[in-house]
Structure 1
Amino acid sequence: MQDISEFARRILENISENIGRKIDNFVSSKEQKTQPKPVNRATSSQPTVISSKPLDNSPQKLTVALHLVVPAFVVNNIRENDLITASDLEKLIDNVRYFLCTKSAVSDLIEESLKFTDENILTIHERREIYIRVHIADGQEMLDKKVPYILKRNLPSHGQGVVRKIACLEDLSGLEAFNRV
């Protein structure tokens, strides 16, 4: 019996590592595409342009994806593409079972490992797990946080988000990269 549980633990670790590597590779490829290529000024035939704008040392504004798994009774009237208020976000975070906050560019990659059903969220048992992805502008302070309280504390001042996906989970597989509460 112990051999089986050790085998299952190793499989889960491998799955988690693979998801982490895929996310890292995806983010790295996106960052490489957006970074300017260095120019050798000595061999360049183009004139050098000096900007008169001051350097902005403030953190880069970033839209983040907050991935939440909550019980169905918390969802109420939330629908895809709805604007969600700070109080609704806080209520979701207060009742979260699993969560992850990433750059919005990797949302699809995260969702590839999850299994969704096409059940109507309004008619399922109130304890079933619902997956919600909320995009939050200027949410860079929420990235990679591990504690729900810190997520709430680091909500941007406007405190709003847009629900990009809401669906019932078939099971809890694929949540290895998420933080469990």
Structure 2
Amino acid sequence: KAAVQIIHGLMEHAKRYTRLAEALCKEGYICYANDHPGHGLTAGDLTEATLKGNGAVLGPSGWRGVVNDVHELSNIIKKENPNIPLFVIGHSWGAMLAQDYIQDWGNEIKGCILSGTNGKVRSLVIKAGKILITGPPRCGKSTLISKLIEYYNNKKDYTIYGFLTPEIRERGNRIGFNIVDIYS
């Protein structure tokens, strides 16, 4: 049928999408996913992937490096499966990565599914984006990222870290989990 590349969200890992991949494979699709730098197996022990202060540290290439990694995996998928179309699925932060990816390489894929993507762009988000893109590299906990997450999750049905699995939320509560600046 087609190949599907799954792009995970911030503070997640590829293994979190196992059920989705299994369901797609059962329907005849071929699925691929990778861990972004500082996430999942690239952060060390998968069960503690983003909870020991190294989660979401993207390295010296930052955002652009992750988008390039997405494209590199797409090239591998197309090389291994030259006669079938490629679709990309991005969730949350992965959807934002996918949006950047399709601006440069959208003509190389058949389609893109964006899940849990950003909504209306407001001035706070635009300003935050400019700061994150052009600001100097820094280390430490990002109050800006935490505020953005809180801003998007301020509905009474949601909690600030409601997108995390219960297991990760519980571990995070035990060790004082906080979002780490992704542009360190």
Using the size of structure 2 for normalisation, the TM-score is: 0.21
Structure with larger RCO (C-alpha < 8 A, sep 6+)? 1
Using the size of structure 1 for normalisation, the TM-score is: 0.21
Q: Larger % of strand: which? A: 1
Q: Larger % of helix: which? A: 2
